[in-house]
Structure 1
Amino acid sequence: MSRSTDPGHFFQTDASESTRARRAAKSGNKNGNPLVLQSKILSVIPDPFSSKSIYIAESAGCVRKVNLETRDSKTVYRGPTAPVTSVAIGGHGGATVFAGCWDKDIWSWDRESRAVERKYKGHSDFVKVIICATIGGKDCLISGGAESKIIVWDTATGERLHALRDKSDTMMALQDLALDPEDSTTSEVVLVSSSSDPQIRRWRISLSSWSQIFDAAQTAPTQSQPIRDTILEHETSVYRVLFSGEDEDNDLWTASADGTAKCLSRAKGWSTEDSYTHGDYVRAVAVTSDWVITAGRDEDVKVWDRSTGKLWHVYEGHYEEVTGLVLLDEKAVISVSIDGTVRTWGLGKIDLDKARTEREAKQKGEVKEEKVKPKKSLLTEEEEAELAELMDSD
């Protein structure tokens, strides 16, 4: 017996029906020159070998390479039958594409041939985030799972080198991982992790051992500096951690479900230097020398003036939650979304001034949006509901 996936065939509350109608009305816009794909995009990374390409993780169970210049999206890495949550490029010479998956495994492919290679098994729940690192001259993979475990792998052999757990065993589902470029050395790396609790943790990892780092919190000059187990600057889940490279001190940037993105100062013991109130769950943050860009559940991409901290412009176009941001030099930012689109937004002064003028005209009813037909999702109604529940449970 066939099953309908039309939302109109299911009981819905007034609120859900209103949301569905709003998204349907918004779904055809051409803002950000959308590249429309057939499944939800759960994460994105830049292509380390081309400033014109990105790699995305899709709910359809694949990794896709997208050339933003030619708009070619035909390079696809297939194998998983469950949604892919994260993607990384690494291995010897960056020859391997890795993907974290709902099936609890980490898949890998030869980057050129797209042939499936090794699967890394060790997580007991879905793999949320993966990154690549070189530790003591060895190519490694570091993964974080929904069961709150961080695993360090030897990519060449598949051997599990370490399994990291918080000493209090209170760490929740992993959300993001980042390598500290300032404190890492050739023999060991310093890893920053965020999770579904508000705590940000730091780890020191070598080939032979690992340890959790405990920091001295910044206090008044007349007080002693207490040791704290974690960095606690947010009120709830921290979805994104990154070192921008735009700061002389390589400060830590964060995005949280408390509705804010923050710059945590290295010089001040990782206390908050700047805070940007996006207003809803912030899933992604990107930083240039002039701008701070935030995006998340409210579907908007917001551009903040870094020198003043004030909101400069709001890019509207996505009609579902934005899940990732990637910078193209400092001239544009790429956003990806649950709505299955990849969109490009200008960050140059001319682009931003034009966008602000057009937005003001649209708000006055002087401009009509161009429409583009969205593609139908490949997920069933049950799978759509499961994915929505997963996103909300974060």
Structure 2
Amino acid sequence: MSRSTDPGHFFQTDASESIRARKAAKSGNKNGDPIVLQSKVLNVVQDPFSSACVYVAESAGCVRKVNVETKDTKTVYRGPTAPVTSVAIGGRGGSIVFAGCWDKDIWSWDRESRAPGHRYKGHSDFVKAIICVKIGGKDCLISGGADCKIMVWDTANGERLYTLRDKSESMMAIQDLAIDPHESTETEVVLVSSSSDPSIRRWRVSLQAASQIIDSAETTTSKDHPRNTILEHETSVYHVHFSGDDEDADLWTASADGTAKCLSRARGWATEDTYIHGDYVRAVAVTSNWVLTAGRNEDVKVWDRASGKLWHIYDGHYEEVTGLVVLPGETKVVSVSIDGTVRTWDLGKKELEMARIEKEEKMKGVVKEKEEEKTSLLTAEEEAELAELMDSDDD
């Protein structure tokens, strides 16, 4: 006997049916000039060799190179049979594509030939985040997993150098990793990790060893005791990255508490600015003029960086947005979603203003149509005729 997987064939609450109907109606929109893929997109990174291309991680178990200008999606790196959660480009001058996977491994391919490379085994649960870095002249890969571990790898031979864990054992599943461009040196890097708990941790990593950075009381906002984590969010922190000149690079964060934040280096990583996106925030991106946030509510919000005010909302995705990448030149941002689409949005001031006006006009039209529908249910003559019928019934 065949079994249906169509949700419409199962009992659903009014709320879930309403959500399904809304997403079905929204799925055909062309906002953001969508490039439609065949599976959920879970991560995205910029192609370091092309201003028009990005690499995306797909739930179908592959990494795909996407040209957002030509819409070419034919370059695919295959091998995993489980969803790919993260992607990075690095090793040997950026010649290797790496992919973190649900199968607990990290896969790799030659970027040009797509030939499989080392397969990194060591995590005991999903690999959630990967990042490429050079330490002491050696190409390394750093990975974080749902097993609450951070691992450092030598990409030349696939060897695991060592594993990091919070000594307090309070660290939960790793969500993201970032390298501090100011505090890192040629011989060691400062790594920032976020996880499913609210804390953000900092690590000093060399080829031989690594240690968690404990801030002294003099460098924290609290003078009572040292601080071993940055605690500025209320719950899981999904995304971390640095933005700005190396010396002034602040830390930007996105959290399940519904906010994105700028944590100030000068103030010992205290919150400088807060952007209340609403619902889980999966990604935050920054330009010289704008702050962009996106997440579970499907919107890409554009904030004026100078004033902190919401400037515009790009709507087009009909499922959770999982990543943002600002393209070189800062005139466009690419968003990816579990709806299986890659969309591109304008960030030029003129284009943003036109988008705002167009959206306002559209909203006015919708309101006007609804008002007309209400008033056009019965004409004045029909209302009079109905009143006469009602009176005759009374007689």
Structure 2: runs of 5+ lacking an equivalent? 368-395
Are residue 282 (structure 1) and residue 281 (structure 2) matched?
yes
- 1:61-80 equivalences under 5 Å are 61-80=61-80
1:109: which partner in 2? 109
CA distance in 2, matches of 1:181, 1:49: 20
Summarize the Cα distance change of 1:98–1:3 in structure 2 as closer, same or farther, 3 Å threshold: farther
Assess if the C-alpha contact under 8 Å between 1:106 and 1:121 holds in 2.
yes
Shift of 1:216: 3.6
- 1:252-267 equivalences under 5 Å are 252-267=251-266
2:303: which partner in 1? 304
1:336: which partner in 2? 336
Assess if the C-alpha contact under 8 Å between 2:220 and 2:226 holds in 1.
no
1:113 aligned partner, one-letter code: S
Secondary structure of the structure 1 residue equivalent to 2:120? strand
CA distance in 1, matches of 2:226, 2:298: 39
Shift of 1:246: 5.5
2:128: which partner in 1? 128
Assess if the C-alpha contact under 8 Å between 2:182 and 2:247 holds in 1.
no
Secondary structure of the structure 2 residue equivalent to 1:365? helix
Shift of 1:130: 0.5
- 1:240-389 equivalences under 5 Å are 240-245=239-244, 249-329=248-328, 330-365=330-365
CA distance in 2, matches of 1:139, 1:100: 17
1:392: which partner in 2? none
Summarize the Cα distance change of 1:140–1:2 in structure 2 as closer, same or farther, 3 Å threshold: farther
Summarize the Cα distance change of 1:310–1:192 in structure 2 as closer, same or farther, 3 Å threshold: same
1:299 aligned partner, one-letter code: E
Secondary structure of the structure 2 residue equivalent to 1:258? coil
1:92: which partner in 2? 92
CA distance in 2, matches of 1:188, 1:36: 41
Secondary structure of the structure 2 residue equivalent to 1:118? coil
Secondary structure of the structure 2 residue equivalent to 1:254? strand
CA distance in 1, matches of 2:29, 2:87: 28
2:46: which partner in 1? 46
Shift of 1:8: 1.0
- 1:201-240 equivalences under 5 Å are 201-216=201-216, 224=223, 226-240=225-239
Assess if the C-alpha contact under 8 Å between 1:89 and 1:95 holds in 2.
yes
Secondary structure of the structure 2 residue equivalent to 1:72? coil
CA distance in 2, matches of 1:166, 1:11: 45
Residue-by-residue CA offset, 1:254-300 (whole Å, 9 max, x unaligned): 00000100000001100001111001110000001110000000000
Secondary structure of the structure 2 residue equivalent to 1:317? coil
Q: TM-score of the superposition, structure 2-length normalised? A: 0.90
Assess if the C-alpha contact under 8 Å between 1:216 and 1:225 holds in 2.
no
Structure with max Cα Rg: 2
CA distance in 1, matches of 2:30, 2:59: 23
CA distance in 2, matches of 1:85, 1:5: 24
Structure 1: runs of 5+ lacking an equivalent? 368-394
Assess if the C-alpha contact under 8 Å between 2:181 and 2:246 holds in 1.
no
Assess if the C-alpha contact under 8 Å between 1:299 and 1:320 holds in 2.
yes
Shift of 1:5: 2.3
Bigger shift: residues 6-15 or 335-344: 6-15
CA distance in 1, matches of 2:3, 2:71: 34
Summarize the Cα distance change of 1:191–1:323 in structure 2 as closer, same or farther, 3 Å threshold: same
Secondary structure of the structure 2 residue equivalent to 1:359? helix
Assess if the C-alpha contact under 8 Å between 1:246 and 1:287 holds in 2.
no
1:256 aligned partner, one-letter code: S
Bigger shift: residues 83-92 or 6-15: 6-15
Q: Which has the higher contact order (CA 8 A, sep 6+)?
A: 1
Assess if the C-alpha contact under 8 Å between 1:45 and 1:87 holds in 2.
yes
2:11 aligned partner, one-letter code: F
CA distance in 2, matches of 1:9, 1:78: 34
2:188: which partner in 1? 188
Assess if the C-alpha contact under 8 Å between 1:219 and 1:225 holds in 2.
no
Are residue 161 (structure 1) and residue 161 (structure 2) matched?
yes
2:155 aligned partner, one-letter code: T
Are residue 139 (structure 1) and residue 134 (structure 2) matched?
no
Assess if the C-alpha contact under 8 Å between 2:191 and 2:204 holds in 1.
yes
Assess if the C-alpha contact under 8 Å between 2:182 and 2:246 holds in 1.
no
Summarize the Cα distance change of 1:110–1:269 in structure 2 as closer, same or farther, 3 Å threshold: same
CA distance in 1, matches of 2:100, 2:34: 26
Assess if the C-alpha contact under 8 Å between 1:59 and 1:82 holds in 2.
yes
1:387: which partner in 2? none
Assess if the C-alpha contact under 8 Å between 1:83 and 1:102 holds in 2.
yes
1:241 aligned partner, one-letter code: V
CA distance in 1, matches of 2:138, 2:245: 28
**Percent of residue pairs identical:** 77
Residue-by-residue CA offset, 1:43-71 (whole Å, 9 max, x unaligned): 00000111110000000000000011111
Bigger shift: residues 226-235 or 209-218: 209-218
CA distance in 2, matches of 1:208, 1:105: 23
Summarize the Cα distance change of 1:122–1:348 in structure 2 as closer, same or farther, 3 Å threshold: same
Shift of 1:2: 4.0
1:58: which partner in 2? 58
Assess if the C-alpha contact under 8 Å between 1:104 and 1:123 holds in 2.
yes
Summarize the Cα distance change of 1:207–1:248 in structure 2 as closer, same or farther, 3 Å threshold: closer
2:377: which partner in 1? none
Bigger proportion of residues as helix: 2
Secondary structure of the structure 2 residue equivalent to 1:121? coil
Assess if the C-alpha contact under 8 Å between 1:284 and 1:324 holds in 2.
yes
The alignment yields a C-alpha RMSD, in angstroms, of 1.5
1:390: which partner in 2? none
